[in-house]
Amino acid sequence: MDDNNSLITQRFYFVRKIFVLGDEFDFSITSWKRTLKRNTMVGSKFPGTSKHLTWLAVDIVLDDITKKDAFLKKVKELGLHYLDEYLYGKMHIHIQL
């Protein structure tokens, strides 16, 4: 399998995991795919290597913040990685493959 097919497979895998989360929790996706220019403008810590550049990261806002712990537990169960940016004054959770 070439690198392009591998990336496409990863994207479908990631999207499927986001759908599973969406079936269980109410949230909005505030950022998904970004260009390098946009990623730099929003202050990404890793502008050139961010998973946002390849569709493999999302930023989400939960409708009910009281469900955050259960949501993060489910993210881990699905084998995804997260950064709880609520802890740093930003109003979202970053999730990536």
**CA-CA distance, 48 to 77, in Å (whole number)?**
28
Interior CA angle at 88 toward 90 and 24, to 5°? 60
Contacts of residue 77, defined as CB under 8 A and 6 or more positions apart, other chains included, come to none
Helix boundaries (H) for 1-97: 3-24, 36-41, 68-77
Residue 84: pLDDT over 70: yes
Nearest-angstrom CA–CA distance, 68 and 61: 10
Average pLDDT over residues 79-93: 91
Task: Tell me: pLDDT of 97 over 60.
Answer: yes
**1, pLDDT greater than 80:** no
Q: What is the pLDDT of residue 87?
A: 84
- The residue type of 36 is L
Residue predicted with more confidence, 35 or 90: 35
